Amino acid sequence: MDRTAVSHALAAARHRERWADEWSHDVEESRRPAWLNDARRYYSTIGGESADPVSVFTAADGEEVSGATPGTPCLHLEPRFRLVRVLDADGREEGIIRSEGIVPGVRYVMGRHGNPIWVLSVRSIVRKRHTLEPADGETWTFDTPFFWWQHLTGTACGVPKLVGYVGPTKRVWLMWIEPGRDTHDLLAAVAFMHRKWWRW
């Protein structure tokens, strides 16, 4: 994790209560996700290298992160020519993400051992809405921010299962995911969306 990413992570830690506070003040209590208080906190950071690799960490609410203790690493996206490798915290490959289809940049597939794991599709001209179709499981709809100060949401069957926001810079996405749904495959999809959003 380079110094730029560390500084972003530190700032993200200082702002970790922002989302919960905004939900408390701006959203009716009945509309807040019931799982929010029990969810783990994750953050994705885009490195300073030219290829824009992405790392995903988790840290308990209240846990401070620093260059020496950046939280618990979950996975890493390593861009290569025409593909992105998904690696676990120990550097073992968990999948490969490639563009698929006639029109580039619209449909992406993550595969593992020759089998598709999920398909991610862009559903809006401004690349704000995406659908994630796992090979086994519910279809997700993601609304990524159009402006950097807007929120990030992920829903399944119309119900919020992921909430988050951008900041304090565009290189950092901070998010909470409903317990039991925070798989590496889902985190890889969100980290990949972060990278595409950053580069768009």
In the numeric block, which tokens belong to residue 89? Answer: 């915290």
For the chain, the domains span 3-199
Contact call for residues 105 and 156 (beta carbons, < 8 A): no
- What pLDDT is attached to residue 102? 85
**40-58 residue pLDDT tens:** 999 999 998 889 999 999 9
Q: Give every CB contact of residue 13 below 8 A, 6+ residues apart in sequence.
A: 59, 63, 64, 65
Confidence category of residue 25, pLDDT binned at 50, 70, 90? very low
Q: Is there a cis peptide before residue 168, judged by omega within 30 degrees of 0?
A: yes
**Domain 3-199 -> CATH class:** mainly beta
Kindly tell me if the per-residue pLDDT of 83 is higher than 90: yes
